[in-house]
Structures are given as structure tokens and as C-alpha cells.
Amino acid sequence: VDVVGVNSNLPDGNHVLMWDLDETTFDEVFKNLLTVQRIYELPNIYILETKKDTNYIAYCFKKTPWLKVVEILAFTKG
């Protein structure tokens, strides 16, 4: 069985931003990611619900170096 997944790697060695936010509310996710977006001057962040009312994933398709990805994800509340 072939398993296909999603990761943040880009061919040039950079990454896209990916969040996995569980046991929270959409309002908290939105508020926290808006703060991150403003501080790091990010383009659109897309939020998807993975479990009704409690779990979310989010993507930002800005090409970002790995150490900056780690910084941004560590800064994100939730």
C-alpha cells in the first residue's frame, strides 16, 4: 500500500508554513494566526476544520527558510 502525505518541503529547500491546532475553537485559531500574520508580515493563511468545532489545520504558502518556520510555529499560541 502506498501512503501519500503532505509535508512542508519545497524543491529549493524552503518550506511552507503548516499548523495543526487541536482542542481549541475557531475564534482562538483565527485570533492567534492573525497575530502571527501581522507580526511576521505573512500573506493569506488558510484554516481548515479537521474535527467539528475543535481541531484545525492551517497553511500559509509563503516560501520560508526552515529556521524561520520553527520560529513562527514556536511563537504561535495553541
**pLDDT in the model for residue 52:** 97
Residue 6 has pLDDT above 90, yes or no: no
Q: What pLDDT, in 10s, does the model give residues 21-77? A: 999 999 999 999 999 999 999 999 999 999 999 999 999 999 999 999 999 999 999
pLDDT of residue 58: 98
Residue 3's contacts (CB-CB under 8 Å, 6 or more residues apart) are none
Beginning with the edge strand found earlier in the chain, give each strand of the sheet holding 46-51 in spatial order.
15-21, 55-64, 46-51
Q: Is the pLDDT of residue 2 over 90?
A: no
Does the structure show a pLDDT above 80 at 16? Answer: yes
Q: Looking at this protein, which amino acid is placed at residue 38?
A: R
Kindly report the backbone phi and psi dihedral angles of residue 4, in degrees, each rounded to the nearest multiple of 5, phi listed first: -115, 130
Give me the pLDDT at residue 1, please. 75
